[in-house]
Structure 1
Amino acid sequence: MIRLLALSGSLRARSSNGALLEAAALLAPAGMRIEPFAGIGALPHFNPDLEAGALPDAVRALRERVGAADGLLISCPEYARGIPGSFKNALDWLVGGPEFPGKPVALFNASPRASDAQTALRLVLRTMSGRVVEEASLTVPLLAAGLDGEAIAAQAGIAAAIVASLQAFARAIPAPE
């Protein structure tokens, strides 16, 4: 079973990015499970001094979930031509631990206009030694569509693209030893 951890870069309850990840979970092929991580908004501001002692519970939970996942599925909006601060904060908390380096990552994008954030995100993830799987990454036009995960999964063209991306991601993830 391939276990993917879904990380939305948006804290909005009804974000297009979150809905895209929900659709992916609904469309996951047999042998793949996609689990959401909803704790990004609970993370404290990154402070390297906090890594010297016991990690805050929210940080520990993030690192444990990332470590247990076979890959990360990230969907992140663009704010002011960059990565939202809350999501960058989450990534900063992963830098000091052993859980992230080498982790396969697929980037889903809910808006073709969000190209600057995607470029910045790729740079950050590669700097952190993540392995961005380009053939599994996907951009779909969902901006302002107001669709939930089920409605996205019901759109044949988008659903087919999501399934193809997830299948490509599965091929890029090494089999467990």
Structure 2
Amino acid sequence: MKGVIESSLGWRRICYQYAFRTCAKGQRSAGAGKFQSPDVLCIILRMQIPPALNLLAISGSLRANSTNTALLGAAALLAPEGVAITVFEGLGALPHFNPDHADTPSPEVAAFVQAAVDADGLVIACPEYARNIPGTFKNALDWLVGSTQFPDKPVMLFNASPRASDAQAALRLVLSTMSARIVDDACITLDLLGRPWNAAAIVLDSRLAEPVRKALATFCNAIQ
């Protein structure tokens, strides 16, 4: 079961306990050097206290074991107190962008646009394919172009690979054309190459978790 991760007041301890158990279980099953663990994204954590900020996290990858999606899952677990991060999972269900359908979008598109508009900010992690952003992710952004409520939307960028500089440049160009407000001080690059990271492993690695935590704090302070 694929679900949505939300991080909020009252649930942080549960998040870390689950992350620890999941990561430890994965390490024990790694026998042949292959890291295996249950997918942290299967957990659904519901809020008991309304958060001060609601962020929408969007991964540009459709891969089931995407490091970009894992990075966003970790961000949901590491979010500051009072901040809820929802990881969007419907990227692959969005139809091809067609301006003729902009005024009568499909339910999937309408839900995505509304989620992006309602969010206090966007957290984006996008891979690089052929020195650009993936077509499916550009398609999602195209559906947001016509929204009159999107301009000045705060955005922070996570880059899971130091090699993906061309995609980051292309993404910034698209977002700036859409009049998004990119918070540069909150944009970071992490090196997740070389092993199949999941959200729990990122949370438990201080070399990765601390930059994510600080970037999120910077982003939230900039948009509050």
- Name 1:19's counterpart in structure 2: 70
TM-score, normalised by the number of residues in structure 1: 0.95
Distance 1:49 1:27 in 2: 40
Q: What is the match of residue 5 of structure 1?
A: 56
| 1-structure distance, mates of 2:120, 2:61 | 22
Structure 1 residue aligned with 2:159: 109
The residue number in structure 2 matching 1:69 is 119
Please say if 1:164 is aligned against 2:203: no
Aligned to 2:4: none
Report the equivalent of 1:173: 223
What secondary structure does 1:165 align onto? helix
Between 1:116-125 and 1:138-147, the stretch displaced more is 138-147
Which has the bigger relative contact order, CA under 8 A and spacing at least 6?
Answer: 1
* 2:118 counterpart letter in structure 1: A
Q: Indicate whether 1:94 and 2:144 are aligned.
A: yes
Equivalent position of 2:11 in the other structure: none
* Aligned residue type for 1:141: D
Distance 1:41 1:98 in 2: 24
1:46 aligns with one of 82, 89, 97: 97
Task: For residue 13 of structure 1, report the CA deviation from its aligned partner.
Answer: 1.1
What does residue range 144-163 of structure 1 map to in structure 2 within 5 Å? 144-163=194-213
Partner amino acid, structure 2, of 1:3: N
How many residue pairs get matched? Answer: 173
One-letter identity of the residue aligned with 1:16: T
Equivalent residue, structure 2, for 1:138: 188
State the SS of the aligned residue for 2:130.
coil
Which is greater in Rg?
2
Runs of 4+ in 1 over 2 A off after TM superposition: none
Q: 2-side partners of 1:125 and 1:136: how far apart? A: 15
- Deviation string, structure 1 residues 117-171 (Cα, Å, up to 9, x no partner): 0000001000000011110011000024201001011101111100110010011
Q: Report the secondary structure of 1:4's partner residue.
A: strand
**AA aligned opposite 1:7:** I
Identical positions, percent: 57
Q: CA deviation at 1:59?
A: 0.7
After superposition, the CA RMSD in angstroms is 0.8
Structure 2: unaligned runs, 5 residues or longer = 1-51
The CA deviation at 1:68 is 1.1
Q: Secondary structure at the match of 2:86?
A: strand
Matching residue of 2:86:
35
- Give the Å deviation of 1:98: 2.1
Separation (CA, whole Å) in 1 of partners of 2:149 and 2:141:
12
Which TM-score applies when normalising by structure 2?
Answer: 0.76
